[in-house]
Structure 1
Amino acid sequence: MNVHELAASVRDLATLPDIYLRLRRLANDPASTVGALAEVVSADAALSSRLLRLVNSPFYGLSSKVDSIARAVNLIGTDELCSLALVGSLDGMFSDLPATVLDLKAYWWRNVLTALHARELGRAGRVRGLDRLFVAGILHDVGRLAAAQQMPTLATEVERQQHGPCDWQRQVAAFDFSYAELGAELLGLWGMPQALVEPIACQHQPARAEHCPVEAAVLHLATRIVSAPEGTADEDIAVEADAWEQARLEPDVLDDVRERVAECAPEFRNLL
């Protein structure tokens, strides 16, 4: 089964839920209002709770507590709101994966850390669309879920070999495609924008990105920083040549990035 067939089979089995589709339609409608988005969110208790916990976390650094869904929607932005809904949806779609194949709690936590690092790296590089970087980080490894669901025996064997920056090459050797390629294909079939799909597709080789090279490089750096073994010196983190330059960053921003992530990360654990 090639990457296109596998992504199509996942899409057919796991259609996106109504709440996400409603939010995405409103987000894409220039005539929609914050009130309309808030009405959809308010109808879902789990999403409302996640949203309020997020905007009241140190990530946003607000001086007063937010208890209004409408204000929370206004603060978070439509892209990040849709990503929250999508994360909850994906968690439900793949909740039946055996722990022997994939530890979902650890999986989502790694994605959250990647999202936080991507956003803070983007902030340091003054990249426009920080919310999109956060969403890309959350969804960068969705192909791993799809492979684990559709090909659990092979995926389990591949997972045993995952331990470093060359993991994607082992995935290609086993499946003939990487999790990044599968995830990007699936997100494209679900109608996600190219500005999100391309950085995910090119996260291992950011120089391949044609339309969103900066975002692809930032996501690449975030994934490599998060996956580096504990105690790895900054200069020893394995990144592609010219990735820092492509991201318009210098490695010396890492101390500030890690500090900001450390402030926000504990609150994000509560969202999982």
Structure 2
Amino acid sequence: MAIPPDIKDSIAKVKPLSQSAVRLMSIMADPDHTVAQIAAVVESDPILTGNVLRVVNSPAFGLRAKISTVARAVSYTGGNMVVGLALHLCASGIFNNPLDGYESQRGSLWRHCLFTAIASREIARFSDGKADPEVAYTAGLLHDIGKAVMSAPLGDSARKIIAIADKGEMPDFVAGEAKAVGTDHPEVGEAIAIHWSLPGPLREVIRHHHAPSKAKEEYRTLVYAVHLGDFIAMMSGTGTGADTMLYLLDHDYRNFVDISAAELEKVILDAGQEYQQVVESMFGSEEEMQ
């Protein structure tokens, strides 16, 4: 598909990511990264520094002594939370705006992407080293960014798409987007990823998270991990609106992720608990997250 000109214009207007966010994603993509590397990036960004210290000293962490240095803070929070904070700070217009075209409220996209990130990281641990859990987390945070731009062009089409899908006349919501607008959120998301100069693995996940079998072979396991993480988030009640659960699960994930039913159930439970902890530490509550 070719992205319509008006949507291309909207993509071109998307605010660039901060240098801190880009650098952190690059560091986290390296399996040999260190806490010192992450701390160095945080220390170069006063706003990010303040937020990392705020989070680590929040009641959710329950630390007895106040943490006042970035290096110690990062050792407690971990790189994934730092990346999440950096993205939330510099791309709030992407993650926090209401998605009217998907009939979802302010903050829904961020909640869904955060849950997906946590679940994707845990699923990647069952990939026999073929998908890096840290990269899966970052990819999960970014997988649905196309919806932020697709929302306006969709207008009031969501209800029509759902009605057609319920009749079995359309395979999934992605196909409905393409019919209604001429493109879909994975394609638009990939265009945003290119606009942001994101690395290949992240672009591939964004483009193919609803069709992982089409991903490049070298990234396919990673894409399947996020594909499954996305479904876990939706099944757990953290979707993005009217489109929730109107997608097809590719059961071939079993060929890429060696996880039993009991292990999958535990991932779902653990991801939900960690999600709540992260929300409380970053925002205090779901309500304040909006």
Range class of TM-score, shorter chain: 0.7 to 0.9
Cα shift readout 1:249-272 (whole Å, capped 9, x = no counterpart): 344421110221132121222333
Contact 1:7 1:186 in 2 (8 A): no
**Hey, what does 1:3 align to over in structure 2?**
3
**Uncovered stretches (5+) of structure 1, i.e. residues with no partner:** 231-236
2:252 is the counterpart of 1:246: no
- Residue 71 of structure 1 is matched in structure 2 by 72
Q: 1:141-165, CA deviations, whole angstroms, 9 ceiling, x for partnerless residues?
A: 11000122xxx2x423234457688
Q: Residue 176 of structure 1: CA displacement?
A: 2.2
Matches within 5 A, 1:226-265: 226-228=233-235, 238-265=248-275
The structure-2 alpha-carbon separation of the partners of 1:259 and 1:93, relative to structure 1 and needing over 3 Å to count, comes to closer
Does the 8 Å contact 1:41/1:47 carry over to 2?
no
Residues 162, 125 of structure 1: CA spacing in aligned structure 2 closer, same or farther, 3 A cutoff?
A: farther
Quote the residue 2:13 is aligned against. Answer: 12
* Cα distance in structure 1, aligned partners of 2:65 and 2:133: 23
- C-alpha separation between the residues in 2 aligned to 1:166 and 1:129? 29
Equivalent residue for 1:169? 175
Residues 188, 194 of structure 1: 8 Å contact kept: no
2:178 maps to a residue whose letter is V
Give the match for residue 91 of structure 2.
90
Return the alpha-carbon distance in structure 2 between the equivalents of residues 50 and 179 of structure 1. 34
Q: C-alpha distance in 2, partners of 1:11/1:111? A: 22
CA shift digits 1:7-47 (9 cap, x unpaired): 464233423345535656888999x9455313124444663
Q: Given the superposition, is the C-alpha separation of residues 91 and 166 from structure 1 closer, same or farther in structure 2, using an over 3 Å criterion?
A: same
Deviation of 1:239 (Å)? 1.6
Q: CA deviation at 1:224?
A: 2.1
* Alpha-carbon distance in structure 2 between the residues aligned to 1:4 and 1:219: 27
State the shift of 1:133 in Å. 0.8
Contact 2:52 2:74 (C-alpha < 8 Å) held by counterparts: no
Matched AA of 2:270: R
CA distance in 1, matches of 2:159, 2:96: 20
* CA RMSD, Structure 1 to Structure 2 (Å): 3.8
Q: 1:190 aligns with which of 188, 191, 196?
A: 196
Is the contact made by 2:53 and 2:70 (CA closer than 8 Å) also made in structure 1? Answer: no
1:28–1:130 CA distance, 2 compared to 1 (3 A): closer
Q: 1:120 to 1:3 in 2, by over 3 A?
A: same
Cα 1:50/1:196, change in 2 over 3 Å? farther
Aligned residue in 1 for 2:134: 131
- 8 Å CA contact retained: 1:224, 1:238: no
| Matched residue SS, 1:16 | coil
Say which is worse superposed, 98-107 or 258-267, in terms of deviation: 98-107
Alpha-carbon offset, residue 85 of structure 1: 1.0
Contact 2:95 2:109 in 1 (8 A): no
Verify the 8 A CA contact 1:114 1:138 in the aligned structure 2. yes
TM-score, normalization by structure 2:
0.71
Q: Distance in 1 between matches of 2:100 and 2:178?
A: 23
Q: Contact (CA 8 Å) 2:94, 2:145: kept in 1 or not?
A: no
1:114 matched to 2:124: no
Q: TM-score, normalised by structure 1?
A: 0.75
Q: CA deviation at 1:98?
A: 7.4
Q: Cα–Cα, structure 1 residues 241 and 147, in superposed 2: closer, same or farther, change >3 Å? A: same
Greater shift after overlay, 93-102 or 184-193? Answer: 93-102
- The reply on whether 1:205 has 2:215 as its aligned counterpart is no
SS of the residue corresponding to residue 48 of structure 1 reads: helix
2:228 counterpart (218, 221, 230): 221
State the one-letter code of the partner of 1:247.
V
- Return the offset for 1:217: 0.7
User: Match for 1:171: what amino acid?
Assistant: E
| Contact 1:203–1:216, Cα closer than 8 Å, also in 2 | yes
Q: Which amino acid aligns with 2:263?
A: V
